[in-house]
Structures are given as C-alpha cells and as structure tokens.
Amino acid sequence: MSMFKCIESLEENPEEVFLQVTSILLRLVDNVLHYPSNPKYRKLRLENKLISTVIMPSIGAMECLFEIGFQEGEDALLLPPESTSIDKLKQFREEIAKRRSKYLKDNNSTNNQTSQNNSSGNSERQSTPQPGAAATSQSRPVVSRNISSNSTQTQNQFLEKLRQHSTMVLQYEKEDTKRKALSVLPLIEINERVERRMRQHQQHALKSGQPINEDSLQETLFFTELMCWFKNDFFEWVNSPKCTQCDCDTSFVETSTTLIESIRVEVYKCGKCSARLTFPRYNEAKTLLETRKGRCGEWANAFTAVVRALNWEARLVFDESDHAWTEVYFKSEGRWVHCDPCECALDKPLLYEKGWKKRLSYVIGFSCEDVQDVTWRYSANHLTLLPRRRLCTEQQLVRTIEELNHLRQANLSSARRKALAKRTLVELVQLMLPASDTEGDTQGRQSGSLAWRLARAETSLAQSGAETSLGQEEKKAYVWTPTAEEVREKKMVITYCTGTDMYSRGLVEERARGWRTRAFAADNIFRKEEKDWKTVYLCRTENSTEGRISWQVDLTASELRVGDVEVQCPATTYENGTVLWLLCSGDKCVRVSDGHMKTSELRGCANLTLTALLKGGKGDVAWQHAQLFRQPLNATDTSFSLSLSLISP
C-alpha cells in the first residue's frame, strides 16, 4: 500500500480518532527527524499505552508505520537506520499535516456557520447549506449506517480486541511455554492408543475391502485421543470454586482487576462460612498448564499451546458471542479443522449454531502467522448471520485483518508468504459455501454444570423451550396414535433410521426428522456420530451413568386394542455396558431379548410403552459402551421398528 493510501485510510476513523492518531504520528516522525541518530526514538514498545490503545486499534495507523520503515521486533516496532528515508519521512509529515489542517479548518468553518445559523432562526437553519459540512463529507468517507448508535466506541473496542488476540497467540512460540506443554503431555500413551485404533481400522478395511485414507485417519485419531486426554485427565472445568476452608459451594460476588495486575479476577463467597476467595482468569498459557483449570477461554488457550508445542499449525478461535476453541491444519486434507477440547468435538463446525442455538456474528481465528475471519465455516445460513455483524463495517474488518497479517508475516520468507497466500485463497473459497447440516451436531453443550448451561441457553433443553427442573432434562412427550388409515387397516408400523436420523410411518408414508421428535421421553441420550469409524448411534451423554429413552403408543381414542407386537431394536455393547429393553402396559411388562421380539402377551391393552435403559461401561468412555441402533453414517435402511396389529375389544 502506498504512503498516500495509508494516510487516506486513516480518514476512515471517526474524526476525533483521526486527529488523535495523526497527532501521535507527527510526534513520532518529528522525533526521528530531530534526533536521527538516537535509537530511543526508533523503538516503539507495543505495551506503550498510546501504541496499544490508540495506534493499534485505529484503521490504517499500523500500515503507516510499516510504510515509513518500521519493522516488527519481539515486543516492539523498530525503525532500522538502513531502512529510513529522511525524504520519505518529510513527505509523510507534510501530507499528514496538510490533511489535519484541512480537518481543523473544516471544523472551524462548520462551527462558525452553525453559530450564525443559530442566530438567524429555525427556517434559515433548515434551508441554508453549510459549506463546512459539505467540504467535510467530500474529504472523509461516510461510515456505514448499519452500525448501532454507540458504534464508534464499540467498533474501536472490537478492533482493539482483535489486535490483542493477535498478539496473545505469540506466547505459544516461546520456548519455555513449549517445554512446559511437552512436559505435561503423555505423548507415548496417546500414540499407543492411536496405533491400537489405527490397527483396528486397518483390519476392518482388509475385511470389508474398503480402502481408507491412512494419513487423514491418523490425524483424526490423534486429535480425538489428544482431546480425550485433555478433557478427562488433564484440565478441570470450574463453574465456581469450592471453599478452601470448608469445601462447600460458593457463589459469585464480583469481578475485579485490581487484585492481580492485568488479570481479571472473579471473587466468590462461601454460602456456609462466608469466606471470600478469588478465581483468577489467567491469559498466560504457561500458567494455565500449571493451574489446569478454568472455563472455555482457559481450555482453548492451554489446548492450543499444547498443539503448537507438538509443531502442528493451530489457531486460537474466538467467538464474539462468548466461546473459544482451536482450529488445527490437517495437511492430509488441506484444510483447517474445528477442534473443541471442552466438548471433545472434532470437525463439527455446526455444533454451536445447530446444537447450542447460538446467534453467531463474528468468529475470528488467530495464529502466529495469520488472522482469518472464519465465521462462515460455523454457519449453515450466511444470509441470516450477516445482519448481526454490526460492530464495524466489513471493509474495516478486512482492513484490520490485512494489517494484522502484514504484521504477523513481516519477518517470514517470501516463499512462506506465497504459500500462506495460496492457502488463504483456498480457504476463502471453502468459506463461501455454507456448511452442510450433515457436518454439524445437534447436541447441546456438555461442558459446565446444567444450571450454568441453562443460564446461557446452551443445552438441548434450554433450546427447545421445554419446561423442566434442574434435575432432569426432558422435552415435550410425543405419543403415537393411529391414523384413520391405520384404524382401517388395523396395523401400525413405526420405523427409524439412525443414518438419516429419520422416522417413517409405513402405511401413511409420514416422515419426521430427529430421533427426539417422536420419542415419549429421553434422559441423558444423544445421537453420536463417529467420523473416524463412519458410524452413528444413540448413546448416553458424556459422563452420565444411566440413560433412558422410551416410545409410547395410545389407542384409546380409536376404540381399538393392541394385538400382536413385533419389535426390532438392536443394541451394541462393550466392556460391561448393558441395554435393558422393556415393553410395558400398565403394570404388565415383557422383556425384549437379543434386540428382537414378537409377542401377544399385551393383547387387549389400550396403550404400550417401549423403554431402553442404558448403563455400565468402563473408563473415560463408559458412556459409549452401550449403544442403540448402530449404523454406518450413510445408511438409509431401518435400524429400529415397532409394529403392532390392532384388534377390536
């Protein structure tokens, strides 16, 4: 970007910001011109308040510094003597001063004209044009009107936050942070588990004759195991800390930034002994690898540090609607892959929009080499999302990202910059297409206590709008009743396919999507997709000891009764996992064995309920050791069916 374009871009800032920024830039240039041999004036520390709070958040300011020769150092911007052109600095100063003078002159003209208009009456104020205002509109671009009334402040805060995040991820490149991450990582055990699962896949591929992409599978298995270790063995989720004196629950009191400098600290009070204690929200990854506790921000921060220590390309991703996770670059697939350690979710970009019902607006990824607006990867409906992006104009966001990328890549080789540019182009093409529903997950949030998730409206329960208590997550019960055609044919056939997640009703060809939509009740159950195994099934929610699901048929209104009943309900179990099936009407129950049963023992009943109880399993993934209706992801055939003949009483 040329010097004049850099200065022109400064005018996209609000007027008071433009005047403040240009005043600082003039001082910086004057110092170098007056004291050209003094290194003190050629070094701008990034922690300097004027640099961090005024220059960095402002549009075009960093570009101007780079244009006149400043280069990025470890913690400062440096102006080497060999890159300094005195003539260029003078030219830069003259142009800045000229534009500032025009602004100040326009302001004086506007103020004078306004004063005259005020003394001449309302009618003249409405009809007389203001030369000063006209000149101002020609010299400065008009800010987009789709920004809220407090946009000037909000915009600066948002863009400043992006710059802070871009600087924050540089900590992962420090050798002491990498050493700390590697010291806590049980890499040998993780690799052993990956190899065992890899051999299982290879054996399955040999038996089935279906080839597998071993490089892609290796990456998928590794990050699946890495997240399982991080979630189950290493990091701890903290809703509110336990009292250190009596080990009782505490309640939130306030947030403070004065107790520990530069760190946000939450203050809690014990409900029993009234002791007060603090919970620091650390930003330093090395510290988090020692404390091993926090919420999503700390989880993503520490996990990204671990990934970078392993020399994988990684991004720390921030969702403006309050969540954070990691993206990892899979070389075998040539793309960035979603990786959420809080949820142990890999490559499920629609988890937040579809599962948590989040109203996404800005999702930005930060690495040591680039910054990218990845919002579009996490949405299936770009048109609905776009109006919510009101913190800045799209042009301002693009300019800020370009500036940050210029800063991040200033010291890279030209070959590396070309490779990143090519990869960015591929990614932008990928982001143009809305994500498919099949790539997501409709599961509500699992991390955090139920009360905390309900308060954030990020559980399946809260999203459904159903009434419930904190002790039980449930949705509105669905009861199957016979249609007129089924009454006439005296037969009901209900089927479900796990692969398509679709119910069908044989005689009337009625279809309904979603395993939960036609169930009578479900507790601690969700539909699990295993992308590495390419399978899908229903199972317990993570860390739950028991899951239950039931379907109910009621014939009361039809004046018919149950005749013969046939059930096909396959289950798959591992270790000591168990699935108990019961077909009941009132106090009378029949146990379904081996996933299939045909019985007339409930003949003459007006209603029946089929229930599955899932229990047991071993280790961290015990919840997966009892599965219902396991099928390939691309299956379209029936995995569950309930058929009954209808008889006259």
Give the catalytic positions in this structure: 296, 323, 340
Rounded to whole angstroms, how far apart are CA atoms 264 and 282?
Answer: 7
Residue type for position 270: C
Cα–chain center distance at 561: 50
CB 371 within 8 A of CB 404: yes
Rounded to whole angstroms, how far apart are CA atoms 560 and 565?
Answer: 14
Residue 439 zone, left/alpha/beta (φ > 0; ψ -120 to 50; rest)? alpha
CB 79 within 8 A of CB 42: yes
Residue 111's CB: how many other CB atoms inside 10 A? 11
Cα 372–Cα 378–Cα 381 angle in degrees, nearest 5: 115
CB 518 within 8 A of CB 640: no
Q: What is the DSSP string of 115-142?
A: HHHHHS-HHHHHHS--HHHHHHHHHSPP
Rounded to whole angstroms, how far apart are CA atoms 281 and 256?
Answer: 10
Question: 64-99 burial, b for 16+ CB within 10 Å, e for fewer?
Answer: bbbbbbbebeeebbebeeeebeeeebeebbeebeeb
Rounded to whole angstroms, how far apart are CA atoms 391 and 377?
Answer: 20
Rounded to whole angstroms, how far apart are CA atoms 69 and 80?
Answer: 8
Rounded to whole angstroms, how far apart are CA atoms 165 and 504?
Answer: 49
Question: Which residues have C-beta within 8 Å of that of residue 27, sequence separation ≥ 6?
Answer: none
Residue 462's CB: how many other CB atoms inside 10 A? 20
DSSP β-ladder status, 43-45 and 76-78: antiparallel
Residue 39's CB: how many other CB atoms inside 10 A? 11
HSE at residue 455, side-chain half, CA atoms within 13 A, is 6
SS3 assignment, position 179: helix
Rounded to whole angstroms, how far apart are CA atoms 42 and 35?
Answer: 10
CB 502 within 8 A of CB 592: no
Cα–chain center distance at 43: 37
What token pair was written down for 315?
């991004």
CB 608 within 8 A of CB 562: yes
Burial class, 254, CB count within 10 angstroms (exposed 0-12 / middle 13-18 / buried 19+): exposed
Given strand 510-513, what is the order of strands in its sheet?
A: 510-513, 502-505, 491-497, 640-647, 561-568, 596-599
SS3 assignment, position 47: coil
Cα–chain center distance at 390: 19
CB 131 within 8 A of CB 114: no
